[in-house]
Amino acid sequence: MSELIEVLTKDGSYSLRSVFFQENFHSLFGALEETKLKFTASSDLQRFKSKSLSVLDICFGLGYNSASLLNELIKQKSYLNLYALEIDKKPLEYSLSNKSFLKLWTPKVKKIFESLYRKDYFEDHFFKCSILWGDAREKIKIIPSSIKFDLIYLDGFSPQKCPQLWTIEFLSKITEKLNSKGYLITYSSSAAVRKTLRNLGLEIFTIKPSSNNRTFWSQGTVAISQFDKNNLKPNFNFEKLSVMEEEHLLTKASIPYRDKDLNSSKQDIIKKRLDEQLLSNLVSTNKWREKWGMTKSSFKS
């Protein structure tokens, strides 16, 4: 699909940069660190020890999120039904050729990834894994409607670079596939994404920054359909939105991305949103940013 450039991140793990999207697959602080902090830790996988779960990994990419998930589930002897969506086979090909990447995981992860690359499928006593290649907006329709997911990972390029995967219509599609106590997890703290998920009936939580990385005020979002906020535990890595984050959802940044027929181009989606923002009476994002002393590098809207 596009030219990819190898990137070594600060924690020693490798990532890629897409020339087409002009964006890295992971934070430069660390591809592995990002996966563990934002996705694996937020999944609260102990809930599924010796049990079964279903997971949807949207934008599989190099496979960090699924690899980390598999690694943990192997340790705790859980049963997994995994669906992955990805448009480009090159990142997985890169992962399978990168010894440093493969050393991060138990050998079984390599076996599963090789099968996904060759046959789009893997199955044994514990794991049933499928990868669907192509536009996620189309491939999401192939997943049987009877399957409801305990975890959905949404890890596409940022809303500004790939708005197709952050629209009301697409988020609605994936929210429909979340079970009643399922977690939708994304690295994005975009007001547009958070407000859309809340309007779709989900409870919104912010992923706390790691103790050694306070550059950002949030490391992402966890959205849950049925969750008692009073049961939030101190060891969770997510918490209620702060006053600052709640106010972010009242600004023009919260105006959603729209893609009525799930086939619009990036340019059309962005133009529609800009037109809507120009006509909106909501507070400007700049005023919110000034009030809270934020810089452009500290949030994604």
Burial class (CB within 10 angstroms; exposed 0-12, middle 13-18, buried 19+) of 233:
exposed
How many Å apart are CA 220 and CA 216, to the nearest integer? 10
Task: Decide the pairing of beta strands 14-18 and 23-24.
Answer: antiparallel
The CB density around residue 18, as the number of other CB atoms within 10 Å, is: 21
How many Å apart are CA 254 and CA 196, to the nearest integer? 8
The CB density around residue 299, as the number of other CB atoms within 10 Å, is: 21
Question: Residue written as tokens 């991060």?
Answer: 104
- Burial per residue of 150-165, b for 16 or more beta-carbon CB atoms within 10 angstroms, e otherwise: bbbbbbbbbbbbbbbb
Contacts by 156-161, CB closer than 8 A, 24 or more apart:
156/58, 156/59, 157/18, 157/21, 157/23, 157/59, 158/23, 158/188, 158/190, 158/300, 159/188, 159/190, 159/192, 159/193, 159/257, 159/300, 159/301, 160/270, 160/300, 161/21, 161/22, 161/23
Residue 211 lies in a domain: yes
Residue 20 lies in a domain: no
pTM: 0.94
Q: Which CATH number characterizes residue 190's domain? A: 3.40.50.150
CB half-sphere exposure, 173, CA atoms < 13 A: 23
Residue 19 lies in a domain: no
Residue 2 lies in a domain: no
Range of the structural domain that residue 177 is part of: 27-298
Q: What is the pLDDT of residue 233?
A: 74
Residue 8 lies in a domain: no
pLDDT profile of the chain (301 residues), mean per 10: 87 95 93 95 93 97 98 96 97 97 97 98 97 97 95 97 98 96 96 98 90 67 85 79 95 97 97 97 93 64 44
Residue 233 lies in a domain: yes
Residue 93 lies in a domain: yes
The number of distinct structural domains making up the chain is 1
Residue 13 lies in a domain: no
